[in-house]
Amino acid sequence: MKYWALLILLIFSIKESIANPYPLKPRDYYVGVNKIYQGKPATLKITDEYIKNYRTRLQEALNQDVEFAGEYVVAEWGCGSSCVIHSFINKRTGVVLDHVFGGEGGPFLEEVYLNSRLVKAFGENEADGKFYTYYYLLEGNQLKLVKMNEREPIDWVDIINYAYRK
């Protein structure tokens, strides 16, 4: 009997790992951050053309309160009607993360957490035309995609865009 129970458990475990190539364990949803940065904002590190082009907005964002992973601020600016771009800047170091949300840069930012390294975003996957919730974890100075969940379009703009492409 023990062997059958173990075999069934193993089969369901394998099925789940095959069905979801981005496993996210419950403990990963709120990957704790021990300290919240309280110091002065660093000077923006201009390391590429993107940062150079948006340096004024990115530098201004460093004066905001920390919003993500204990030491990051979120810069936000419009890029046209119903278009917005988000970038993350480390308030302690002045380094801008490579990953951009919104605009033409990818999915739209949905949630960030002050005391966690988890970022939740949403958008259409151009490869298959479906909508997903994306989960990213901050590892070092990079956001790594750890899970994607298919979802319905979330508002009329998504629905119109989705219907137009069909």
pLDDT digits (tens, 9 = 90+) for 123-138: 888 889 899 999 999 9
- Provide the whole-model pTM: 0.74
- The continuous run of DSSP H or E covering 23 comes out as none
Rounded Cα gap, residues 90 and 42, in angstroms: 8
**Residue 148: is its pLDDT beyond 80?**
yes
Length in residues, the chain:
166
In a domain? residue 108: yes
Rounded Cα gap, residues 76 and 86, in angstroms: 5
**Residue 39: is its pLDDT beyond 60?**
yes
In a domain? residue 1: no
Kindly indicate the confidence band of residue 95, based on its pLDDT and cuts at 50, 70 and 90. very high
Rounded Cα gap, residues 13 and 5, in angstroms: 12
**Residue 154 contacts residue 120 (beta carbons within 8 Å):** no
**Residue 98: is its pLDDT beyond 80?**
yes
Residue 151 exposure: Cα atoms within 13 Å on the Cβ side: 14
Task: Give the range of the structural domain holding residue 31, as residue numbers without chain letter.
Answer: 24-165
The tally of domains found in the chain comes to 1
